[in-house]
């Protein structure tokens, strides 16, 4: 389920409070999580995911920068108490359900390692992170139902980022992904290139340790007509033809972790 090219394609037409279908499932969720062995019963864990397969050199800053392309993200890496070395897994907290669902539906590569992502307390978390109980099966059985409701356009209601759909964060509506960047391409180069279409503000994702370009980045625009014009064109910068897609689109998911290495 994590290999689909698009994270979440939910329509934006649903109201921000459209949690009617989800509310109807609340008793089932509570029953499933009610076991004393359930690891996800604490409300703070509802928007948390497990990430495994981390490289030794991966840092909190690297994870925050990577998952931040989907929406606000706050990560932490589990470390050995004696040596301080990474134990190869950690967790990421998000602010809203659609962002978390988008992350879970995509493949991720950070510092050359393909990550394993799962719900907090899910199968991956139990294998590497320890803990977890039998009630996870019931929770996971409900996950497709929740996903279907989310894609229907409802949203979880009460979320500070509006209704359902993957682009519910206002700051991401006029953002595009750009992949295939040359190592020497800079923010100034991208601003100059995309600035010919209209006001553009770009940033390039860089390796947390070396500072090298990771081969992809994002460009923010002020006008939807400008964004549509950019998406309809072929772009060559510093001798490289760029892969340009909507923020969270197929191109973003394919290249979001790998470029530049």
Greatest Cα pair distance, the chain, in angstroms, is 59
The reported pLDDT for the residue numbered 145 is 57
Q: How far apart are CA 99 and CA 168, in angstroms?
A: 9
Q: What is the mean pLDDT of the chain?
A: 72
Share of the chain above pLDDT 70, in %: 58
Q: How far apart are CA 40 and CA 228, in angstroms?
A: 41
The pairing of strands 86-94 and 200-206 is unpaired
Mean pLDDT of 35-41: 43
Mean pLDDT of 73-79: 90
The reported pLDDT for the residue numbered 163 is 40
Structure-block tokens of residue 157: 């209601």
Helix (H) or strand (E) holding 77: strand 73-79
Question: Range with the lowest mean pLDDT among 55-59, 80-84, 85-89?
Answer: 80-84
The reported pLDDT for the residue numbered 27 is 60
What band does 79 get if pLDDT is binned at 50, 70 and 90? confident
Evaluated on CA atoms 248, 171, 200, 225, the torsion sign reads positive
180 against 149, higher pLDDT: 180
Structure-block tokens of residue 245: 């897609």
Closest CA to 218 of 9, 70, 6, 8: 70
Neighbours of 23 (CB within 10 A): 12
Residues in the chain: 261
Q: Is the pLDDT of residue 92 over 90?
A: yes
What band does 193 get if pLDDT is binned at 50, 70 and 90? very high
Beta-bridge partners for 75: 92
Evaluated on CA atoms 22, 28, 32, 34, the torsion sign reads positive
pTM of the model: 0.37
The reported pLDDT for the residue numbered 246 is 86
The pairing of strands 240-241 and 236-237 is antiparallel
Q: How far apart are CA 93 and CA 48, in angstroms?
A: 4
Beta-bridge partners for 176: 219, 246
Q: Quote the distance between the C-alpha of residue 104 and its chain's center.
A: 7
* Cβ atoms of residues 197 and 229 within 8 Å: yes
Evaluated on CA atoms 170, 242, 213, 83, the torsion sign reads positive
């Amino acid at each position: 389920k994590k290999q689909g090219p698009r994270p979440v394609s939910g329509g934006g037409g649903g109201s921000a409070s459209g949690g009617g279908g989800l509310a109807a499932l609340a008793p089932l969720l509570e029953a499933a999580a009610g076991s004393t062995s359930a690891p996800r019963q604490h409300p703070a864990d509802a928007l948390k995911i497990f990430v495994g397969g981390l490289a030794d050199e991966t840092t909190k800053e690297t994870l925050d920068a990577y998952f931040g392309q989907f929406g606000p993200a706050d990560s932490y890496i589990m470390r050995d108490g004696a040596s301080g070395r990474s134990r190869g897994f950690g967790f990421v907290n998000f602010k809203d359900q659609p962002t978390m669902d988008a992350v879970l539906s995509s493949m991720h590569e950070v510092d050359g390692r393909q990550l394993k992502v799962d719900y907090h307390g899910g199968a991956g978390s139990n294998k590497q992170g320890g803990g977890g109980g039998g009630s996870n099966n019931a929770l996971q059985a409900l996950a497709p139902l929740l996903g279907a409701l989310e894609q229907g356009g409802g949203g979880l209601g009460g979320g500070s980022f509006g209704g359902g759909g993957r682009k519910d964060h206002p700051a991401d509506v006029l953002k595009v992904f750009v992949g295939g960047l040359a190592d020497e391409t800079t923010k100034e180069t991208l601003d100059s290139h995309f600035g010919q279409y209209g006001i553009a503000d770009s940033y390039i994702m860089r390796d947390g340790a070396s500072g090298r370009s990771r081969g992809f980045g994002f460009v923010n625009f002020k006008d939807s007509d400008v964004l549509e014009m950019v998406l309809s064109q072929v772009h060559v910068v510093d001798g490289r033809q760029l892969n340009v897609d909507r923020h969270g689109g197929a191109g973003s998911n394919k290249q979001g972790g790998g470029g530049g290495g």
